[in-house]
Amino acid sequence: MTIGSRSGAEVGLDARPRRLGVGQWFDGLRLHRGDIELTGDLITAVGLPAGGDGIACPGYIDLQINGFRGTDALTTDVHGVATIASQLPATGVVAFALTLITAEVHDIDRSLAHITDVRAAQRAEHLRTGARLLGAHLEGPFLSRAFPGAHPVELLRDADAGLVNHWISTGALVMVTMAPEISGGLDAVDAFSSNGIVVSLGHCDATGLQANAAFDRGARALTHGFNAHRLLSARDPGPLGIALTRADIVTTVIADGVHLDSANLLLLQRAAPGRIALVTDGIVASGLGDGVFQYGPLTVTVAEGRATLPSGRLAGSVATMDSSVRLAAACWGVEAALAAATSVPADLLGLPDLGRLGVGETGDLVILNDQLDVRRTLCAGQTLYEVADA
């Protein structure tokens, strides 16, 4: 029986049923005992007698990654974008939004063109060669000067309608982080959201009232909660307080042991269970250890897992999604951590073919050991990463 729109046989995969040999599987919300069967690129059975140890899980989705292992999203070429996609399965990631920080308009335009080219090439491929590039996450330049984070303050700008429409017209954007309180901000929220682009509030000085208005206009998330936005206070909940109390809003978090105290990480999950998404905010230095790196227009020093500007301000993260899941699991439990890397981001971006594991789903999977280390990653049924002794 053929399930889905495309069979493994049609793309040259082995069409014989094959077991993954795991003891548990995660459906996107809960863990279950049993093994998984793939036929071609599709899952054709779940809950089979356990075939060994480990967990089969939907592949991880990273909605905010700025670079990886020496490649910077803003300054690289098409080959570099494709290289990032090819490397991410080693961290369990099967889909990602490449994030562009604040820069000159022509630099952003060039990067959006590269993202468009790589995404088109992936769609034309019969066999996957890397994690799926969902599109661009534009983080800036429509940000508040009061909460710039590492973004160059001199390049921040109001939400000019012409520029907003220009970037919408590229078709490259899947997500935008912006400050709704800047001039033109709410109109930009309208424009982006009405074109199917997820708007996330971030790097903003919005009051609770302003944040609530932006969410009412279509914004659907808050970027890296507790970091780089007005914080909640006794008489002003700010964007974080509003996001946590609205059942329709997702808050993304950076679980790297640097950006958030563990108590605050726990607080977020307890306040909004099922509405917290892990992001790495990983930069060019991710996976490379200590050193000095060029991150877009910024010079960043990495020491002992902290990426900082000369001023000492944090400049993204060097976390990977697999390490973030392990840290979150130690704080929240395994099911909540896995959901935050799979079904929650998939639902936020409206990706019905990602983030869930069940019969008829495409084989975009990560196989984990009981310590949540990545042992094998499959994209569309193909093994793109495997530990040698797995």
Residue in 154, 147, 142, 138 with CA at minimum distance from that of residue 204 = 147
pLDDT on residue 1: 19
Element housing 328 (H / E): helix 321-332
Place of tokens 């990067």: 111
pLDDT on residue 154: 97
pLDDT on residue 13: 63
pLDDT on residue 388: 84
pLDDT on residue 88: 98
pLDDT on residue 14: 66
Q: What is the DSSP string of 53-88?
A: SSEEEEPEEEEEE-EETTEETTT--HHHHHHHHHHG
pLDDT on residue 129: 86
Relative orientation angle of helices 78-87 and 105-124, to the nearest 10 degrees = 60
Element housing 31 (H / E): strand 31-33
pLDDT on residue 50: 87
Q: Which residues are catalytic?
A: 281
In sequence order, the β-bridge partners of residue 133 are 96
Q: Contact, 344 vs 97, CB < 8 A?
A: no
Tell me, rounded to whole angstroms, the distance of Cα 281 from its chain centroid: 8
pLDDT on residue 10: 43
Residues in the chain: 390
Q: Which two tokens stand for residue 47?
A: 């809950």
In sequence order, the β-bridge partners of residue 57 are 366
Relative orientation angle of helices 321-332 and 262-271, to the nearest 10 degrees = 80
Burial class (CB in 10 A: 0-12, 13-18, 19+), 368: buried
Q: What is the DSSP string of 198-243?
A: EEEE-SB---HHHHHHHHHTT--EESSTTSSBPPPBTTB-HHHHHH
Q: Regarding beta strands 298-303 and 306-308, do their DSSP bridges make them parallel or antiparallel, or are they unpaired?
A: antiparallel
3-class DSSP state of 365: strand
* CA distance to 30, 56, 267, 321, 329, per residue, from 295 (Å): 38, 34, 31, 19, 29
Distance CA 67, CA 70 (A): 7
pLDDT on residue 60: 98
**CA-based end-to-end distance of the chain:** 30
Relative orientation angle of helices 334-341 and 321-332, to the nearest 10 degrees = 140
* pLDDT (tens place) for every residue of the chain, 390 residues total: 122 233 344 445 667 899 999 999 999 999 999 999 999 999 999 999 988 899 999 999 999 999 999 999 999 999 999 999 999 999 999 999 999 999 999 999 999 999 999 999 999 886 678 999 999 999 999 999 999 999 999 999 999 999 999 999 999 999 999 999 999 999 999 999 999 999 999 999 999 999 999 999 999 999 999 999 999 999 999 999 999 999 999 999 999 999 999 999 999 999 999 999 999 999 999 999 999 999 998 999 999 999 999 999 999 999 999 999 999 999 999 999 999 999 999 999 999 999 999 999 999 999 999 999 999 999 999 999 999 875
Domains of the chain with bracketed CATH: 8-56+356-386 (2.30.40.10), 60-349 (3.20.20.140)
Predicted TM-score (pTM) of this structure: 0.95
Q: Contact, 305 vs 288, CB < 8 A?
A: no
Q: Contact, 269 vs 332, CB < 8 A?
A: yes
